[in-house]
Amino acid sequence: MAAELDRHLKKDKRVKVRLLRSATEGGEHEQEKAQAEGLAEATNSVLVDRRGHTAVFWRS
């Protein structure tokens, strides 16, 4: 998933990603937050916002 996000961030500076509940073991708040922060770290991007199951990433 990080490779796909990285590819999109190269094309567009801002990307919105929908996180699947099944990928966060039931959609627990802390697990979703950790997953989004991990994606930001893996793609050298900034986690701009996270609401519900949606996260917005930005890279300059």
With residue 2 as reference, give the H or E element that holds it.
Answer: helix 2-11
pLDDT at 30: 83
Homologous superfamily (CATH) for 2-58: YhbY-like (3.30.110.60)
Could you tell me the residue ranges of all domains in the chain? Answer: 2-58
CA dist list (Å): 9 to 4, 13, 39, 42: 9, 5, 12, 12
Question: Average pLDDT per run of 10 along the chain, which is 60 residues long?
Answer: 94 93 69 91 96 93
Which amino acid makes up residue 27?
A: G
pLDDT at 29: 80
Predicted TM-score of the model (pTM): 0.86
36-52: b or e for each residue (b if 16 or more CB lie within 10 Å)? beebbeebebebeebee
